[in-house]
Structure 1
Amino acid sequence: MKKSVIVASLILTTSLSFAFDLGSITKTVLDTVNNNSTTTQNTTTTNSKLSDSTVSSGLKEALKVGVNYAVSNLGANNGYLNNSLVKIPLPGNLAKAESLIRKAGGDAIADNLITSMNNAATKAAPQTAEILVGAIEKMSLADAQNILAGDKDAATNYFKTNTTDSLKKMIKPIIQETMQENQVAKYYDMANGFYKNNVGNLVDTSAISGLAKNFGVDSYIPSSSDESIDDYVTNQAIDGLFKMIATKEAEIRSNPVAQTSSLLQKVFGN
């Protein structure tokens, strides 16, 4: 009984560490455009004198630079795999048990699955530029103003709303084909099977589930999954694109070195 509790605690600790390993997308909101002074003096910056259309054009150019940055980097060799911001991890049910799988000798299986998923996303990345740029070109003046005045993830949310469905339709078949070439389904089945045969059998899973429920963390217990692996990789690939675009946009907003055109310097420069 004590052994089961000890193992259960190990699983819960490992699971929680993976569950809460979250990354941030971006950090900056433009504060140099249409700047409202908080003092009683009537002070403005050069940027606040720009027309709305100029500011909108500047934002669009920044986002296009972000798209090019995202697509070129993620489409390069190991573009997803070697980028900690967007690297696709094991799917949820396996991620919860990754530490245990590796401790039980499943390093190669876990690594092969992670590598093959990320390679599939990398192959699909170059095909996304047209859809993303098209969404930018269709952006209205109101859309641009809302992004500039909105939260730090406003641009990301715009892309999610206007491109996610189209991106899925375009890249999912590419990812499916690449995953077949890279035997992703095979590695996924192997990883699930390895967990069931080499980790799940080591402990009384019913006892663990009961203990987990008492602590309110039963949702973090690893289990077999009927999650579609191709949907998982597709969604992760798209999220990675959005994160990279947001990262470059934030850099352009805050770093003069990244303002590589006269328009970007005019709109975002101090």
Structure 2
Amino acid sequence: MKKSIIVSTLILSSSLTFAFDLSAIAKNVVENVTKEQTTTQETSTSNLSDTTVSNGLKEALKTGVNYAVTQLGSNNGYLNNTAVKIPLPDNLAKAETLIRSIGGDKMADNLINSMNTAASKAAPKTAEVFVEAIDKMTLTDAQAILSGGNDAATNYFKANTSDSLKKLITPIIQETMKENQVASYYDTANNLYKSNVKGLVDNSGVMGLAKNFGVDSFIPGSSDESLDEYITTKAIDGLFTMIGQKEAAIRANPLEQTSSILKEVFGK
């Protein structure tokens, strides 16, 4: 009986030892394979020339620009895209509920539609500005963007295209918004409010009366930014957003790497 127990114990002990050894071996194998894969990946990446890396990034950004311009320049490109849709300006947005509650739906919708339509009309004209900025990109710029976060390209574009985009887009926005009577009312009212009316309203007690009725928060204030400036800024922000989305997709999704150089640079 004792002999049997001893034998069983030895067998169990041997089995456990073997199991532990097998576990250790498996762990070592996994670690070695991981190291080899990492080394292979690093070697493969380091084998890419600086020119290849730079060209790959530039193609990715041009793909992003083409995507943004095509999407946002289409009919209702801004309006139907929740990520970039241009809302009413802040100083009018807080009055939107009140405006709609007294039958002003058509006026509010008209202004929102016009702002987004103006941005969509301007979008196709911006491609040249972006492409020029990409072509001027240095190797240092490209490396910083490639190793940076998903907003690295957006930050580069903000620094290198914002002024040119404003000069290009503003006249298109102004021309388009001339057709909208509500927009002209907005600018006229806003300018009057900033110059004279605000003081009269405060002195006459109308603001106090509004507070008594609990609607003072709905009274729009003035803004130093004209409606054209507001739309231009939002239109540019929307372009940056869409380019950034496409760049992030190319970085993360092999299916978005649609050319050999994109696969070579981002597939690593």
Q: 1:181 deviation in Å?
A: 2.2
Q: 1:191 deviation in Å?
A: 9.2
- Letter of the structure 1 residue corresponding to residue 55 of structure 2: S
Identity of aligned residues (%): 67
Task: Structure 1: give runs of 5+ residues left out of the alignment.
Answer: 1-38, 213-217
Give the TM-score normalised by structure 2: 0.73
**Matched residue, 1:126:** 124
Aligned residues: 220
Instruction: State the distance in 2 between where 1:63 and 1:166 align.
Output: 18
**Residues 149-188 of structure 1 mapped to structure 2, 5 A cutoff:** 149-183=147-181, 185-186=183-184, 188=186
- Letter of the structure 1 residue corresponding to residue 39 of structure 2: T
| Structure having the higher Rg | 2
**Matched residue, 2:63:** 65
Instruction: State the distance in 2 between where 1:207 and 1:40 align.
Output: 71
Q: Which of 40, 46, 49 lines up with 2:47 in the alignment?
A: 49
- The 3 A distance-change label for structure 1 pair 80 and 203 is farther
Give the TM-score normalised by structure 1: 0.72
**Matched residue, 2:227:** 229
Q: Which has the higher helix share?
A: 2
- The 3 A distance-change label for structure 1 pair 128 and 104 is same
Instruction: State the distance in 1 between where 2:188 and 2:106 align.
Output: 11
Residue 89 (1) aligns with residue 79 (2)? no
Instruction: State the distance in 2 between where 1:50 and 1:66 align.
Output: 22
| Stretch of structure 1 that moved more, 251-260 or 59-68 | 251-260
Q: Which of 225, 238, 241 lines up with 1:240 in the alignment?
A: 238
**Matched residue, 1:27:** none
Task: Structure 2: give runs of 5+ residues left out of the alignment.
Answer: 1-33, 193-197, 199-205
Paired residue secondary structure (1:85): coil
Paired residue secondary structure (1:86): coil
Paired residue secondary structure (1:181): coil
- Letter of the structure 2 residue corresponding to residue 267 of structure 1: V
**Matched residue, 1:107:** 105
1:109–1:190 contact (8 Å) kept in structure 2? no
Q: 1:255 deviation in Å?
A: 1.0
Q: 1:104 deviation in Å?
A: 2.9
Q: 1:246 deviation in Å?
A: 0.4
Instruction: State the distance in 2 between where 1:144 and 1:115 align.
Output: 38
Q: 1:228 deviation in Å?
A: 0.3
Q: 1:269 deviation in Å?
A: 1.4
- The 3 A distance-change label for structure 1 pair 65 and 83 is same
Q: 1:149 deviation in Å?
A: 2.0
| Stretch of structure 1 that moved more, 159-168 or 105-114 | 105-114
